[in-house]
Amino acid sequence: MTLDPTDIQGFILRGYTFPVARFFFLELSREQSARALIGRLIPDITTGERWDKKPISTLNIAFTYQGLAQLEVPEASLQSFPVEFVQGMKARASILCDTGKSAPENWDPLWHGGRVHAWLSVYAQSPAVLESRCSQLQASLTDTGAGRVVGTQDAAALAADGRIRTKEHFGYTDGFGNPDYLGVDRNAQPGQGKLMADGSWAPLATGELLLGYPDEAGELPVAPVPHQLANNGTFMVYRKLHQNVATFRRYLREKGSEYRGGEEKLAAKLVGRWRDGTPLELSPDHPDPGIVDDDSRNVNFRFGYDLAGTRCPIGAHIRRAHPRDAFGFHGRLVDRRRISRRGLPYGSSSPDGPGEDTGEHGIVFMALNASIFRQFEFVQQQWMQYGNDAHQGNDRDPLLGNHQPQEKFVVQGTEDPTNPPFICGGLPYFV
């Protein structure tokens, strides 16, 4: 299969790995002026074409349902969108377990009034380039009178010792394991696609990411009409995840002092990777930089050989987010739940000391998928916020779970009496 990368936004096909970004949230005004803005931006939209030389910045765009209505997309087309896109995340908060501290009333104010019609992203190679590109974007908005910016969100890779790191605020190396899709031109790694019966890996069906192509069931994903509106597009989920750094570090210190493996091994057990990125499934007793640096190994592992969770706990974060073959059938039950992840940390880091909870810091998390309901919402509800598929009952994901007082996280033990199970109770809100 050959895709037309000139008709697909680059943000969909690849992670940009730029150090800084700014996301704009627009409220569009009159139909004609908003269309004029879009017409001006289209030539500058970064497409999926392979770069001969990496650009100094990128520009991409997305619309909410309300934004498409503001642009006077025909009613027949508006009514053909999937219901989860039409309703939006706020209306579906209970499905996603966005309650308590994560409830919509605690979200940033820009999400309270239904005024976000469009999202624009600018990634750049430096802060100076970012400011220049954003000034140009603001000028286009002013010249066309297309609307106003109701909010922005800056994000940036964290730095340590003067070097950019691929880490998030809890100290884990991030960015592993985005899926391979049929026809997408990228550097594939074993373990990123779907597991085949012979133990090899193959790309997922294109329709798990892009509309207009068959998915893993051999069907076309639900998409709006006419087909020109949908083809080569996808649905994006945008979430701003605040991280309680002080709470996380304190919990690790307290529980790590009780756990035979110590604080760092407990940190690895919670996530399923050591903080340097080494997967527990391949190195359960210590970090191994050689595995992390080896693209043929760092995502090339299975859970089907570790059904008891003695290497990587059954409830660990990465095992819940992508169970691989843990449910049997060579992973076929998981292939239709995959998502592509994009994002960057926001806010300044606290490399040493107790850290803090109240500062403005966390991760801007974005998911790309052909079906929000079948992919993102399912993973968030069933695998992150409910544990039955992983034999965890009502226990939630240890990292992202909207925790209740009775929940726990279990580090499975072995038959060796010196390595008993370890139970982490009293899980607080980490995210």
CATH number at residue 46: 3.30.70
- The reply to whether 138 and 258 lie within a common domain is no
Strands (E), 282-421: 340-346, 362-369, 408-411
- Domain contains 228: no
Distances (CA, A) of 3 to 181, 213, 222, 232, 390: 11, 10, 19, 9, 36
On the question of pLDDT at 418 being above 90, the answer is no
List, in sequence order, the alpha helices (H) in 2-126: 10-13, 31-41, 65-70, 75-78, 83-87
Mean pLDDT taken over the chain: 95
Report pLDDT for 59.
98
Q: How far apart are the C-alpha atoms of 26 and 149, rounded to whole Å? A: 5
Helix (H, G, I), strand (E, B) or coil at 245: helix
Residue 266 sits in the same domain as residue 362: yes
Q: Tell me: do 130 and 250 sit in the same domain.
A: no
**In the predicted model, what is the mean pLDDT of residues 65-76?**
96
The answer on 259 and 402 residing in a single domain is yes
d(C-alpha 411, C-alpha 316), whole Å: 9
392 in a structural domain: yes
Range of the domain at 128: 8-156
pLDDT in tens, 119-177: 999 999 999 999 999 999 999 999 999 999 999 999 999 987 677 878 999 999 998 87
Q: Confirm whether 370 is domain-assigned.
A: yes
Which of 106, 130, 156 is the C-terminal boundary of a domain?
156
E strand map for 283-403: 340-346, 362-369
Q: Rounded CA gap, 123 and 40, in Å?
A: 19
pLDDT band at 404 (very low <50, low <70, confident <90, very high): confident
Please identify, among 132, 156, 180, the residue that sits at the C-terminal boundary of a domain.
Answer: 156
Q: How many CB atoms lie within 10 A of CB 18?
A: 23
132 and 271: one domain? Answer: no
**152 with 264, same domain?**
no
pLDDT digits (tens, 9 = 90+) for 303-357: 999 999 999 999 999 999 999 999 999 889 999 999 999 999 999 887 778 899 9
Across 184-212, average pLDDT:
94
In angstroms, rounded to a whole number, what is the distance separating the alpha carbons of residues 211 and 369? 9
Quick check: is 192 in a domain? no
Asked whether residue 244 falls in the same domain as residue 117, the answer is no
Judgement on whether residues 273 and 132 belong to the same structural domain of the protein: no
Say which residue, 42 or 32, is predicted with more confidence. Answer: 42
Residue 114, pLDDT > 90, answer: no
pLDDT digits (tens, 9 = 90+) for 242-272: 999 999 999 999 999 999 999 999 999 999 9
CA distances to 19, 125, 249, 406 from 349, in Å: 14, 20, 13, 31
Chain segment 286-298, per-residue pLDDT in tens: 999 999 999 999 9
DSSP 3-state assignment of 422?
strand
| Residues 38, 145 within the same domain | yes
Are 25 and 135 contained in the same domain? yes
Is 319 within the bounds of a domain? yes
Q: Is residue 126 part of a domain?
A: yes
Distance CA(41)–CA(62), nearest Å, equals: 12
pLDDT band at 368 (very low <50, low <70, confident <90, very high): very high
pTM to 2 decimal places: 0.96
Query: In residues, how long is the chain?
Result: 431
Closest among 410, 366, 376, 375 to 392, alpha carbons compared: 410
Please identify which residue in the block is written with the tokens 């020109």. 228
Residue 32 pLDDT > 90: no
Number of domains in the chain: 2
Q: Is residue 305 part of a domain?
A: yes
Closest CA to 69 of 121, 137, 118, 108: 118
The pLDDT confidence band at residue 98, using thresholds 50, 70 and 90, is: very high
Q: What confidence score (pLDDT) does residue 224 get?
A: 97
Residue 289 lies inside a defined structural domain of this protein:
yes
- Residue in this structure with the two tokens 């979430």, named with its chain if needed: 239
Residue that finishes a domain, picked among 156, 182, 202: 156
Confidence of residue 104 (pLDDT cuts 50, 70, 90): very high
Residue 82: predicted pLDDT:
97
141 and 253 inside one domain: no
